[in-house]
Structures are given as structure tokens and as C-alpha cells.
Structure 1
């Protein structure tokens, strides 16, 4: 590994399954409400990569122990949303690390009331 190389964990999508109709992602951005249909469920693995400032320098780090090699990477399933600003590609939404995401609703779950939306917007403005 180069002297100036850094190690970071990145989630990498390894599988994609179309989401059934009715799944929605609710988010708040600059006090505005947004409801987006979930296009797909993405299966992701978290891997360590080394990289430098050089373009194309990202390299997958090999497991550091036999245990790590046997257990394999962490995995998660997260929603994917299509948006015009992303060229209509399915973009992974990190529901635990994205400060704009509020909640995911299933097909049978009722949409939040205006009061619930306003309470969530106020909570975010207050920094709670």
C-alpha cells in the first residue's frame, strides 16, 4: 500500500430486486416534504478499500484474518429511488445515515397527516 493511501469502508450494491408497488420513501429537505416511490430493494456489502488522490486508485482490501475471510462483509438491504436529477438511475438511499430521510412506508401503511409532517419539520428545524 502506498504511503499516502487511506482506508475507507464503502457499501457496494451486489443485487437489486424490484420493489412491489406502494412502497414509499418520505424525506424532508429544507423544510419541504418529499414522497418518492421506492423502485427497488438493493442488497449491499460493506468492504474496505484503499485509495490515494490518484484517479482510479481505489483497491479492495483483502481480509486481514481467517475469521474475517470466513464471515465475509457486512450486508444490508436498503431502498433504491429513481430521480430525474440522477439520470433516472436507481440511487441507494442510506436510511440510517441520510439526514433528509424520515421514514419508509409499506403499501398498507397510511401516509402521515399534515400535523405529523409539520411536527417532523419543526423537530428538524430545532435540531432535535
Structure 2
């Protein structure tokens, strides 16, 4: 039985570049657009983007485009926010992932090529060590 998995990471970047240059930047780090349709599991991730818009209210006024992207073997939900004056300029890009640790790696690569990180939350599970031996006082 499959469990419904929620968002494990959310990231927001300020871009201020045209559409073609933004997509080229994403392809340079290994993120590619997927042409497959959204499924139920992807719509569950949109709740995290809605909460991100509550944190940064200026995103609510911008037009946007939802897309699926692939980074290695991981699917990311991506939301491109366009400038109010020109739909050729992408102002912000938001990512949501179901896999822990992915957005941290993506973020490092995007910051290297000049993107400005506005917000990142990446839930990474902590490995617990088994304690062996006896404790004496």
C-alpha cells in the first residue's frame, strides 16, 4: 500500500531573467521540463506553495505557470512567477520536492550561477545511532 507523501522541501529563488535564459540555467544544472500531466500526488504538493505565498504575499499578485521538472530521477513541482509588466521576464521560481535533501543540492547549484535564494526549507531525516554497551555511574 502506497502512503501519501507530502512536501519534504520548498525553495524560492529571485531570478529577474527572461524565460529562455531561466530555462537554460535550469538545464545547465540538470533540471529538465517534463511534459507529463499533473497527478494527484503532485497536487498535494501545491499546498506547500500556497503556504509560501502566505509567507511572501507579493507572490499572490503575480501571474504564474506550473510545471513538472526532473532532477536526476526526482520529480519537482515548479512554479514560475512572471513580472507584472512583462510576461517574458520570470521574477521568482519556486520548487517543491517530495524527496529530502534534493532542494539543498539544487539550491547550491543555482546560487553558483547567480540566482538569489529567498527561502529554503528542506526536511532531512536524522540518522539515529544505536547505543551499544553499558553505562555505569
TM-score of the alignment, normalized to the shorter chain, above 0.5: no
Q: TM-score, normalised by structure 2?
A: 0.29
Between structures 1 and 2, the one with greater helix share: 2
Structure with max Cα Rg: 1
Q: Which has the higher contact order (CA 8 A, sep 6+)?
A: 2
Between structures 1 and 2, the one with greater strand share: 1
